[in-house]
Chain A
């Protein structure tokens, strides 16, 4: 294998270039939006901004964080992420523990009940009607209850338990007199930490990023989340941005406008605000989720 043909060398060079291109294309928009968030809004409108702020300012962030509704949205978002992640880990892990047992009598029935909704859903409107009947519309718990159990995550955990926890371990614990709960909490749970770290990341990111639940089922502004508010300003600012861009294009004087923040720069700041937590936890958890997914995929 030591001999390399010239054709292969060319391929390697092209491949390397493609990979570099992927890095640039992926990273550039993020760096650009960060530069925009840290740049004065009216200066940004002149164009030519790349990945460094040209006239640096914290103004966009301070405008955002002076907004009381924004702080409320931040509170709702963080609390739902914490509560949902914690509770859904419990529900999904206990289900996965039971389903990992070959001797559980009604395993196949339970599996059928849990898997069918993966393929058949009632759809948005029947769900909406149900939520209105049981009082979940405009209710904080609409963010928590419907998403507590995840079939996909349960399969990942179950596969992990089966592939990495020897059955004899459990049997010997049972012989020493350990009950079901002791086995689960003292033996299986500690061994599942890598996959649970992956699931924690998926769940946390999932509920942090969700905005359609708010769109469909919530109209009370006190329950809005960060992502939903971001969606609102993006949809609303479209016309305003166009007006400003046109004003700048036709050479009108925009300097007399009062603040240095524009809708565009505020949106940028809000995007940075909503992605920074993800970027901060991502490197630490990446190892785990890649392993978790790979175990699930290979054993398929």
Chain B
């Protein structure tokens, strides 16, 4: 509405508000036309399904659809009392927190190390190589893991060459204890290099005269790292951390689903939602679980943002 009053004062002629609005729209009709596909697609594919979470409160029946009996919170109660669901929620939390704890600092350290490389050509080569796995699909990476950890693959060959006993070969991807560590290793392998890009960009934006001044004042490398470099990239760190916390629960489907096999008992929320919802047709339960996950994710994101705004005056909204 602010636009409308502005037009009125600039044209200095009184017109009915409706007419002014119409003129305004018509003046920019090309712009409206150009943005309409994005708006329409977003409304259709993101907003229209949103009321569908109502299914979480129904005893959903494929034939009755939204006229299915309303059962209130019963689906949620079921979700939070079945051991399988509870276990999947715990797994999701543990896996997400571990992944964040391992991959987040790794990217910062790697970026700082890359930044210390003075040989431009070698540095660029390392970057080029370490970004590449980001462009492979998860299922490709899982396929490579199958090859690397195969009974007669390189990892087992290396073990045998050390111990000398052929019986020491391990079917790694069939070991329950190896499942979570392996996910962490694979996530690092695929994304650590790529995640440095933002930090490297932030590092190049730091004013070099700061380093010179600190050097003249007698600051060593550690002090310069501590007092110039890290504060310099702090906004980037905070922003990426908030995004990381926000996406904490939602990720991991492809990796967990792809690595699951008959020896592994490990479900996360997203794999349960898929299996219960789409494979078994338990729409109500799966929607309730997905909704619970979404709400928790949003609370995490919101809280992280609030805390960050209090502490560092940086936030994403």
Contacts from A to B (Cβ < 8 Å)? 1, 8, 11-12, 15-16, 18-19, 22-23, 25-30, 32-33, 36, 44-50, 90-92, 94-95, 97-99, 101, 104-105, 110, 113-114, 116-117, 119-130, 145-146, 148-149, 154, 179-181, 184, 205, 208-212, 215-216, 227, 230-231, 234-235, 238-239, 241-242, 245, 248-249, 264, 267-268, 270-271, 274-275, 278-279, 282-283, 286, 290, 293-294, 297-298, 300
Contacts and interface: CB of A to CB of B under 8 A. Distances in A.
Nearest to A36: B147
B101 interface: no
Given A19-B126, A125-B286, A117 B46 contact: yes
B37 A91 contact: yes
16 contacts: A19-B122, A26-B133, A30-B144, A91-B38, A98-B31, A98-B34, A149-B41, A184-B34, A227-B139, A234-B139, A234-B258, A264-B147, A267-B147, A274-B140, A294-B204, A300-B235
A26 B189 contact: yes
Contacts of A208: 137
Contact of A98 (B35, B154, B287, B301): B35
Nearest to B273: A124
B277 A124 contact: yes
B135 A33 contact: no
A217 to B, nearest CB: 9
Contact of A267 (B146, B174, B215, B286): B146
Interface in B122-153: 122, 125-133, 135-140, 142-148, 150-153
A124 to B, nearest CB: 5
B148 A145 contact: no
A149 B146 CA distance: 35
B116 interface: yes
Nearest to B302: A119
Nearest to B261: A238
Given A45-B152, A113-B42, A271-B140, A130 B253 contact: no
B152 A231 contact: no
Contacts, number: 271
A172 to B, nearest CB: 18
Contact of B205 (A94, A230, A298): A298
A129 B52 contact: yes
B39 A110 contact: yes
Contacts of B122: 19
B294 interface: yes
A227 B47 CA distance: 29
A149 to B, nearest CB: 5
Given A205-B135, A245-B171, A105 B24 contact: yes
B47 to A, nearest CB: 7
Interface stretch (B79-87, B91-99, B193-201): B193-201
Q: Give the interface centre of A36, A239, A290 by most chain B CB atoms within 10 Å.
A: A290
B128 A145 contact: no
B241 interface: no
B274 A124 contact: yes
A231 B42 contact: no
B37 A95 contact: yes
A31 B259 CA distance: 22
B266 interface: no
A299 B18 CA distance: 38
Contact of A120 (B25, B50, B117, B140): B50
* 7 nearest A-B pairs in the assembled complex, by CB-CB distance: A126-B52, A47-B152, A209-B137, A180-B30, A123-B290, A117-B46, A245-B151
Contacts of B31: 98, 101, 104, 180
Contacts of A125: 52, 55, 273, 277-278, 283, 286-287, 290
Contacts of A123: 49, 53, 273, 287, 290-291, 293-294
Contact of A293 (B46, B125, B201): B201
Contacts of B162: none
B3 interface: yes
Contact of B171 (A45, A46, A212, A242): A242
A133 to B, nearest CB: 9
Contact of B143 (A122, A180, A234, A300): A234
Contacts of B47: 117
A210 B31 CA distance: 32
Contacts of A148: 37, 41
A269 to B, nearest CB: 11
Nearest to B147: A33
Interface in B258-287: 258, 261-262, 270, 273-274, 277-278, 283, 286-287
A44 B239 contact: no
